[in-house]
Structure 1
């Protein structure tokens, strides 16, 4: 998803538009996570960028997406750019405490 979201829309209140944007982002993430992974991979990773414009966009962590939308609302941006690109990754399984004790 590479998109410029408009916050100031003539027929909606600002808060309602922010809720609509957050809902669209969550739906996109859910849809991407439900896609079938290639054989060598076991998880999805999201590369994210956020900024007032495409040129000002900086990388952010996946956990900060919704916080960034709230920041745009708080700073009274008329619009903002958000980029979320999914890619498959292989994550090593973390050992639980019980498994670590058994290995020692």
Structure 2
């Protein structure tokens, strides 16, 4: 998913628009996690970028998405860019001391 989301809409209240954006992002992540992983992989990992536009997007962890959306809303931004790319990964064992 590579998309620029608008935080303002003429038909929806700002809070409902933010909820709709978060719902669409969470729905995409859930859909990707339901797919079968490749041979030798355990789970789906996500490469995420977030920013005001495509050029200023920085790498983030998937768990930070909602916090950054809320930050953009509090700064009264009109839109933001998000990029979420799924990749299959294998869990690493923790090093034993």
Q: How many positions carry a matched residue from both structures?
A: 96
Q: CA deviation at 1:36?
A: 0.6
- Cα RMSD for the two superposed structures: 1.5
Q: Structure 1: any 5+ residue segments left out of the alignment? A: 95-99
Equivalence for 1:49: 49
Return the alpha-carbon distance in structure 1 between the equivalents of residues 29 and 93 of structure 2: 22
Runs of at least 5 residues in structure 2 that lack an aligned partner in the other structure:
none
Structure index of larger Rg: 1
Q: Calculate the TM-score normalised by the size of structure 2.
A: 0.92
Q: Show structure 1 runs of 4+ deviating over 2 A.
A: none
1:24-43 mapped onto 2 (5 Å cutoff): 24-43=24-43
Aligned-partner Cα distance in 1 for 2:72–2:17: 12
TM value normalised by structure 1:
0.86
Give 1:86 deviation, angstroms: 0.6
SS of the residue aligned with 1:83? strand
Whether 1:81 aligns to 2:81 is yes
Q: Indicate the SS of the match to 2:40.
A: coil
